[in-house]
Amino acid sequence: MIVPGTKLTLAEVKEHDVNWPAPLDMTNISVNYDTAWFLQLCQTGDPGEVFKQNVLQAVSTAEPGFSFNLFDQETHTLRNACTEVVSGDDSDVCNLGSVNLGQIETIEEFKTVLELATKFLLCGTLRADLPYPKIEQVRERNRRLGVGLMGIHEWLLKRGCQYEVTPELHDWLRFYQGITNKTANDFADKLSVSRPVARRAIAPTGTIGILAGTSTGIEPIFAVAYKRRYLREGHKWHYQYVVDSAAQELITLYGLDPDNVESALDLADHYERRMEFQADVQQYVDQAISSTINLPKWGSRRNNPDTVDEFAATLAKYAPRLRGFTCYPHGARGGQPLTTVSYQEAVENLGKEFEEAVETHDVCSFTGHGGICGV
């Protein structure tokens, strides 16, 4: 319990109230790497001191991220909050939507869904209201679309594949690229409007992935089973046990062993596989991919000052095929909501709600402002 008048660090305050307003909250900060940086890397093999410091800070605290904008994309430094929309134009806007690949069985079905999704989003650029005229002007010129994908890991698991871009998935992604390009151009011509300057972006799809019961974006399943932590009554932490719905469906329908389903936490020790997967998918996406790789806790055997140089070298190797990159070392944020547990433990406790033994308080109860106080 927090005693009124106790002096706390910002980290301690955030641990007790994740909603406490802190500098740069709700802001994604990334360092931009351009063509000059890439040419230096090619000529010397050295990514530079800024890049190395960026890596050290990211793998220890989760901030800042990395933004790679090379050659003809060098001006595309403007991003939306999740960074999957890229542009060089002030006041640009993108119409985003995601196709659930995990529920698509055939390439013919995929074609139909992609055509409908592309047409639907393009129509949105004609009908959606915008807050001020400049955005409308830029939209009319660029007509930027973001046909995305989610459920990719589910699609792989259904085929008995590990988390990698298999030859079959490469074929489907080429199809995704080609159909969205053709449909966007043909439908824009039919409507006598400008052709979209971009057609594809892959968002994180955290909430809609949960609603759809599938893996989110390009992410692997976070964990087969976990505890989800949340605040009740403004100051008490509660938690429930959760079995990932996509994982449970695969376990039920296909008899998968829950201990053999790779998750984001399993891959935390194999970060290169996450980088390679994102780079392989990015070649089919003309905007960007929002994806965050999980890492072990800073100071652990696989993530510590001695591992930073190797991580930096690996990321620099994939950087030319990425548009953005972020990572999250376990425990880097106070109030971390998810903790992995065994499948059996979760199954035994499904449907129950638990209160954590330690009572916490919203920060306004001892400072008189911020948090839920509204002043």
Q: What percent of the chain has pLDDT over 90?
A: 70
Confidence of residue 29 (pLDDT cuts 50, 70, 90): confident
The reported pLDDT for the residue numbered 48 is: 97
Letter for the amino acid at 56? L
Domains of the chain: 27-215+263-335 (3.20.70.20)
Residue 241 tokens, joined:
């046990």
pLDDT single digits (tens) 165-184: 999 999 999 999 999 999 99
Cβ–Cβ < 8 Å for 199, 286: yes
In this prediction, residue 231 carries a pLDDT of 78
pLDDT over threshold 80, residue 146: yes
Which residue type does 320 have? P
Is a pLDDT exceeding 70 seen at residue 70? yes
In terms of Cα–Cα distance, which of 263, 273, 250 is closest to 339? 263
Instruction: Report the pLDDT value the prediction gives residue 359, as an integer from 0 to 100.
Output: 45
Position 6 scores a pLDDT of: 77
pLDDT tops 60 at residue 201: yes
- DSSP per-residue string spanning 264-329: TTGGGG-HHHHHHHHHHHHTT-SS-B--EEEEPPTTBTTBSGGGHHHHHHHHHHHGGG-SEEEEEE
| Band of residue 373 on the pLDDT scale cut at 50, 70, 90 | very low
Q: Grade residue 232 by pLDDT with cuts at 50, 70 and 90.
A: confident
